């Protein structure tokens, strides 16, 4: 952007610009208004969040985007939705008898296979899996330790995955599967650093535990004296830890979401989730796999809980939260608000689709804005 006029124009239509259009393969039509009207610049089609009709008021903090047509969402009141037509319709595929569960994370392998995580103390923390598109579900793990509270999960591939619990006996507890979530085992904690007093994970977006590649995984924390990111390069057996450059110091502050586009380049977002509290330093970046983090020079203006790299881009990403969506085009160093709708989490796919979900049944897909 080279002028205030261009900035105002982009904000008025929501998400737009050359980076987004290229990432989503949205070509500009001849004569169509785009991000810029300057001579010599190619017009770009405006794209933005397009809300879909979900038919529910559940809050969806869990989101798994498979591709342009298929996505899963998991939320409050044990609700699971699935679309296979790009969001034009959603099918309620909630597990039977799960209305009392808080589903905060979902990992999907395709249109038929998915794993969901229910959070809470003791037996409220559970894992369920479906192999038939949600027609039937099997409970594959139920926590029996009253001290454990599971927050997030991630999968490296269709077989290997992890789930994490808040600290038990002073260390984060890691649950592992080698068969796609059909069975789980608690990993030994000898390689896990000690947790800080009051430190925990945030089950806000399904992004407090994320992976990239076959073995690397990162765990986001808050609530302690400092916000931290833990990293394992061997699927959760041994961990290192680094301060995340996002303020903590209170139970409501810290890192809420992580995204890595490869095993070295990552973005952390967070802040203070309380509505009456500011979040002046809500994002940080790493270029060395999480060994060191730097605060964003121009961070999002408020608390953000979810973040995702745009497909086919090495420098563009979206961050979402209850007060809006922000875009970075320089790898997370600077951000600008491009939408004011409320979302809790965001996910993008390799074939160029981005989805977001949040409160009151809100699920949206990024696409061309109506004329």
| Residue range 180-208, pLDDT digits in tens | 999 999 999 999 999 999 999 999 999 99
Say if CB 56 and CB 64 are below 8 A apart.
Answer: no
Mean pLDDT of the chain: 90
Residues 6+ apart with CB under 8 A from 39: none
pLDDT at 301: 97
Long-range contacts of 227-230 (CB under 8 A, 24+ apart): 227/253, 227/254, 227/255, 227/270, 228/196, 228/199, 228/255, 229/255, 229/258, 229/266, 229/268, 229/286, 229/290, 229/293, 230/172, 230/192, 230/193
> Which tokens hold the place of 95?
């597990």
Residue 160 has pLDDT above 80, yes or no: yes
Handedness of CA 8, 340, 30, 316 (dihedral sign): positive
Q: How high is the pLDDT of residue 368? A: 73
Give residue 338's pLDDT. Answer: 96
What are the pLDDT digits (tens) for 89-107? 999 999 999 999 999 999 9
Rounding to the nearest 10 degrees, give the CA dihedral for residues 8, 14, 15, 16.
-50
pLDDT confidence bin for 38, thresholds 50/70/90: very low
Least confident of 34-43, 147-156, 255-264, 343-352: 34-43
């Amino acid at each position: 952007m080279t002028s205030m006029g261009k900035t105002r124009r982009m904000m008025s239509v929501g998400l737009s610009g050359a980076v987004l259009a290229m990432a989503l393969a949205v070509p500009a039509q001849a004569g169509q208004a785009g991000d810029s009207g300057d001579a010599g610049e190619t017009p770009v089609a405006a794209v933005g969040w397009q809300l879909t009709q979900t038919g529910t008021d559940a809050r969806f903090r869990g989101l798994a985007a498979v591709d342009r047509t298929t996505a899963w969402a998991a939320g409050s009141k044990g609700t699971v939705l699935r679309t296979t037509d790009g969001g034009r319709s959603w099918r309620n595929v909630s597990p039977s008898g799960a209305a009392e569960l808080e589903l905060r994370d979902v990992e999907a392998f395709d249109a038929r296979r998915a794993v969901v995580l229910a959070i809470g103390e003791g037996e409220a923390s559970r894992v369920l899996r479906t192999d038939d598109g949600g027609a039937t579900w099997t409970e594959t793990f139920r926590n029996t330790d009253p001290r454990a509270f599971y927050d997030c999960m991630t999968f490296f591939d269709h077989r290997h995955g992890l789930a994490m619990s808040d600290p038990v006996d002073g260390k984060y507890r890691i649950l592992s599967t080698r068969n796609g979530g059909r069975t789980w085992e608690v990993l030994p904690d000898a390689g896990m650093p000690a947790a800080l007093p009051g430190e925990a994970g945030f089950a806000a977006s399904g992004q407090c535990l994320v992976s990239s590649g076959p073995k690397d995984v990162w765990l986001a924390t808050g609530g302690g004296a400092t916000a931290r990111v833990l990293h394992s390069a061997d699927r959760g057996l041994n961990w290192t830890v680094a301060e995340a450059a996002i303020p903590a110091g209170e139970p409501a502050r810290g890192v809420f979401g992580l995204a890595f586009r490869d095993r070295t380049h990552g973005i952390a977002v967070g802040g203070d989730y309380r509505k009456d509290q500011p979040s002046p330093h809500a994002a940080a970046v790493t270029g060395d796999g999480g060994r060191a983090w730097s605060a964003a020079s121009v961070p999002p203006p408020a608390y953000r809980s979810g973040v995702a790299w745009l497909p086919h881009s090495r420098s563009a990403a979206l961050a979402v939260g209850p007060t809006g969506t922000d875009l970075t085009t320089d790898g997370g160093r600077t951000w600008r608000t491009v939408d004011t709708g409320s979302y809790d989490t965001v996910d993008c796919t390799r074939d160029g689709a981005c989805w977001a979900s949040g409160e009151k049944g809100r699920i949206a897909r990024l696409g061309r804005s109506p004329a």
